[in-house]
Amino acid sequence: MNFTGQDLASFIENLDRLHLAVGAAMPGARLPSFTTISKAPGQLMVEYRSDRTGLEQFVLGLFDGLITRFGATGDVQIAEHKADSIIFELQYQDGS
Ligand code: HEM
């Protein structure tokens, strides 16, 4: 995980690369895709795409875990359900 990013925003921006790297060794894996659609101090809007449904609470929990891992505190919400994607809103304060 250390190679994927040194802070929350860059880690999330590199999530697709991480999954592609892992997926290269796993034929048949169905990988998610994450796009940062906006980035402000303490706030990220991230679009999640998948060909699976029903994983949004799982993703929410993973984002929550990432906030903790990067020493921040915060909150994750589903901002919008779109036809083929879900927008997550992360609000956080750095731990220092
Ligand atoms: C070291 C970190 C991680 C590794 C090694 C990893 C690896 C993987 C692998 C191998 C799969 C494919 C499973 C399959 O198709 O059988 C997968 C799926 C998935 N990963 Fe990760 N992952 C990591 C971190 C994350 C994080 C931080 C998130 C979200 C914030 C995430 C979200 C997901 C989701 C939602 C899926 C299910 C596939 C889908 O949505 O269609 N992963 N991951």
Q: What is the pLDDT of residues 38-49, one digit of tens each?
A: 999 999 999 999
Q: Average pLDDT of the chain?
A: 95
Tokens of 85: 């994607």
Q: In this structure, which residue's CA is closest to atom 23 in ligand 1? A: 19
Terminal alpha carbon distance of the chain: 21
Residue 4 has pLDDT above 80, yes or no: no
> What predicted TM-score, i.e. pTM, was given to this entire model?
0.91
DSSP letter at 6 equals S
Beta strand 33-40 with 43-49 is antiparallel
Alpha-helix residue ranges (DSSP H) falling in the chain: 8-13, 15-24, 56-69
Q: What is the pLDDT of residues 58-78, one digit of tens each?
A: 999 999 999 999 999 999 999
* Separation CA 78–CA 61 (nearest Å): 11
3-class secondary structure, 41: coil
- Point out the ligand 1 atom lying closest to the alpha carbon of residue 26: 10
Q: What is the model's pLDDT at position 16?
A: 97
Residue 96 has pLDDT above 70, yes or no: no
Q: What domains, with CATH codes, occur in the chain?
A: 8-93 (3.90.1520.10)
Q: How far is the CA of 31 from the centre of ligand 1 (A)?
A: 7
